[in-house]
């Protein structure tokens, strides 16, 4: 029995370190006023007895269940889907940048009955629905003549704020009014309303040009306008709305566009505006409950200038898989990985077309905050070579050829690191917070005296000359943090994580005792 117990323990720990990747398109997320609403279709195979798991702010893993204390509620739609509602103030939600984030995964059993983490995803919802390209605008600072009522004058303040609107008790005519953002409502009778403020972008939106992407009918025109706001109201069955069924949810999606301000001249035309595209979705459970609308604003950054000073522009990207065929973008962060899993990193030169240039990485390191000069650092590359102090998990450089990158392969450098967590020096405990990656690099022009190559280890690396016009060293950082998560389940939100390395001496001692005992019994029987 003791052998069986030990083997079960080991299989549980090792079996937990399963494949981890993003949840696919069969899942949907809706950002409510107070909670996440996440639905996962189980039509794709996730092993036996799949269930949702989450990690707390210490990186400990927990099986999700109905728990009012931790703010999680789970419902199943027969065997087709799982729906999770998780409060923003719950046990497994943390704040990062301007977002609530909650790392979740799918835990199941493999063919041998071992627990395995199949998929990992970060639920991410913004603190507010305000557009990010109009900083500094006061949400409720609206001129009296521009105000548009959000509800009837007798509505209580709390109910008005639940609608995402502003409230001013001194205004008897319009105490509840729309703020300088986008406010969307979905009604149980299938009506979608969207109020848009001209001040949600800089420069201000041209409200007269805002329109539904596919709504050509007169009933798709705005139902109300002021100098500062425009209001659309239309049924889900009209105006180009697309309906999608996932599990027990019906999702209705539509898009609003705005024209750009184009200035004409005899020799050409210009615009200083980005493309404005507003995507809106309403989620309905089959039984008729309305989930809050999720809103995203997508705009393009202004174009780069034709000329630029000689500062070296770099980009550090994290690939989604080992072939470097796709990368995480800024909106995907924070990225999650289980401890010891590989992270595929790429650094490249931007805005240069000289095929002779060679990118040289000098140093790469990690910090627990976005500041690359933070005193807590862990070296990854030192003088272009993997850090030798990381005995068991050396960074691996990845060779690049023209077959993998068709244009300017010398402008790229790739390497693989294994995920880790910073440790509190006083208590020797893992700090399961975010980790940011940074690199310093320069550009080299090959010559007879310098081939612009590095041979590792450092002691035998070739000497290089930077006596060129490209000798400037530049720093680059990842677009966001990586959260490294434990792969072992905790029994409670405040429980401790089982670490096989910490209990291995005890297990070894028990095994030795058992072996000696069995040997003694066998010899006794022979006598």
**Domain holding 99: CATH number?**
2.60.40
479 with 342, same domain: the answer is yes
Per-residue tokens: 169:
């008790």
Rounded to 5°, the CA angle 491-26-29 comes to 65
119 with 242, same domain: the answer is no
Structural domain ending residue among the three candidates 276, 299, 322:
299
How confident is the model over 264-283, as pLDDT tens digits? 665 555 665 666 778 788 87
- Percentage above 70 pLDDT, the chain: 73
Question: Taking 60 as the threshold, does the pLDDT of residue 121 lie above it?
Answer: yes
504 with 370, same domain: the answer is no
Candidates 436, 277, 471, 255; CA nearest to 362 is 471
- Percentage above 90 pLDDT, the chain: 12
In a domain, 134, yes or no: no
CATH number of the domain to which 224 belongs:
2.60.40.3210
Structural domain for 348, as ranges:
314-485
Question: Taking 80 as the threshold, does the pLDDT of residue 185 lie above it?
Answer: yes
In a domain, 286, yes or no: yes
70 with 216, same domain: the answer is no
The number of domains in the chain is 4
In a domain, 155, yes or no: no
Provide the CA 198 distance to its chain's centre, in angstroms.
29
78 with 201, same domain: the answer is no
How confident is the model over 225-235, as pLDDT tens digits? 998 999 998 88
322 with 429, same domain: the answer is yes
| Top-confidence residue, 318 or 14 | 318
Structural domain ending residue among the three candidates 109, 127, 145:
127
Candidates 153, 132, 130; CA nearest to 140 is 130
Candidates 276, 395, 404, 392; CA nearest to 343 is 395
In a domain, 175, yes or no: no
Lowest mean pLDDT among 26-30, 90-94, 362-366, 497-501: 497-501
In a domain, 202, yes or no: yes
505 with 527, same domain: the answer is yes
37 with 74, same domain: the answer is yes
> How far, CA to CA in Å, does 515 sit from each of 230, 484, 500, 524?
79, 38, 21, 14
446 with 517, same domain: the answer is no
> How far, CA to CA in Å, does 424 sit from each of 257, 428, 431, 485?
50, 5, 6, 16
Measured in degrees and rounded to the nearest 5, phi and psi for residue 40 equal -120, 125
In a domain, 100, yes or no: yes
408 in the Ramachandran plot: left (φ > 0), alpha (ψ -120 to 50) or beta?
left
227 with 343, same domain: the answer is no
Question: Taking 90 as the threshold, does the pLDDT of residue 431 lie above it?
Answer: no
Question: Taking 60 as the threshold, does the pLDDT of residue 296 lie above it?
Answer: no
Q: Is residue 334 reached through a cis peptide bond, with omega within 30 degrees of 0 on the bond before it?
A: yes
CATH number of the domain to which 382 belongs:
2.60.40.4100
In a domain, 132, yes or no: no
The overall pTM is greater than 0.75: no
In a domain, 287, yes or no: yes
- The pLDDT of 118-144, averaged and rounded, is 69
Structural domain ending residue among the three candidates 299, 324, 352:
299
468 with 355, same domain: the answer is yes
284 with 346, same domain: the answer is no
- The pLDDT of 150-155, averaged and rounded, is 90
């Amino acid at each position: 029995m003791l052998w069986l117990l030990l083997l079960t323990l080991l299989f549980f720990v090792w079996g937990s370190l399963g494949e981890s990747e993003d949840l696919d398109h069969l899942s949907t997320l809706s950002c409510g006023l107070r909670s996440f609403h996440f639905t996962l279709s189980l039509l794709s195979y996730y092993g036996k007895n799949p269930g949702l798991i989450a990690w707390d702010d210490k990186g400990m893993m927990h099986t999700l269940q109905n728990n009012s204390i931790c703010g999680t509620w789970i419902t199943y739609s027969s065997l087709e889907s799982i729906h999770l509602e998780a409060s923003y103030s719950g046990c497994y939600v943390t704040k990062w940048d301007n977002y609530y984030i909650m790392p979740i995964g799918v835990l199941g059993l493999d063919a041998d009955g071992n627990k395995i983490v199949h998929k990992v995803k970060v639920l991410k919802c913004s603190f507010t629905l305000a557009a990010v390209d109009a900083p500094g605008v006061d949400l409720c600072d609206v001129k009296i003549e521009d105000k548009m009522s959000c509800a009837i004058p007798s509505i209580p303040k709390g109910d008005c704020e639940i609608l995402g609107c502003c409230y001013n008790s001194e205004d008897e005519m319009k105490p509840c009014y729309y703020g300088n953002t986008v406010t969307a409502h979905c009604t149980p009778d299938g009506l979608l309303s969207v109020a848009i403020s001209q001040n949600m972008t800089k420069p201000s939106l041209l409200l007269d040009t805002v329109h539904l992407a596919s709504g050509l009918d007169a009933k798709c025109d705005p139902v109300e306008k002021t100098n500062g706001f425009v209001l659309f109201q239309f049924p889900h069955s009209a105006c180009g709305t697309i309906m999608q069924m996932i599990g027990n949810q019906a999702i209705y999606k539509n898009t609003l566009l705005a024209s750009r301000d184009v200035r004409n001249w005899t020799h050409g035309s210009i615009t200083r505006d980005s493309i404005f595209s507003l995507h809106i979705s309403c989620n309905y459970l089959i039984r008729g409950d309305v989930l809050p609308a999720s809103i995203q604003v997508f705009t393009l950054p202004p174009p780069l200038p034709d000329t630029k000073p000689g500062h070296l522009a770099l980009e550090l990207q994290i690939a989604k898989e080992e072939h470097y065929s796709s990368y995480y973008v800024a909106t995907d962060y924070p990225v999650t990985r289980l401890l010891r899993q590989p992270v595929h990193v790429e650094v490249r030169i931007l805005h240069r077309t000289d095929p002779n240039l060679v990118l040289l990485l000098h140093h790469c390191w990690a910090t627990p905050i976005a500041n690359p000069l933070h005193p807590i650092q862990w070296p990854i590359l030192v003088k272009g070579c993997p850090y030798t102090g990381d005995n068991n998990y050396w960074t691996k450089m990845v060779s690049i050829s023209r077959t993998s990158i068709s244009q300017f392969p010398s402008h790229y450098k790739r390497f693989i690191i294994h995920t880790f967590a910073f440790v509190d020096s006083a208590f020797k405990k893992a700090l399961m917070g975010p980790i940011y990656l940074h690199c310093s690099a320069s550009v080299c022009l090959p010559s007879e005296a310098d081939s612009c190559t590095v041979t590792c280890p450092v002691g035998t690396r070739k000497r290089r000359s930077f006596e060129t016009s490209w000798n400037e060293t530049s720093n680059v950082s990842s677009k966001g943090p990586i959260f490294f998560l434990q792969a072992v389940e905790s029994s409670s939100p405040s429980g401790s994580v089982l670490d096989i390395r910490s209990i291995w001496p005890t297990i070894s001692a028990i095994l030795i005792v058992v072996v000696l005992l069995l040997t003694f019994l066998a010899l006794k029987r022979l006598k």
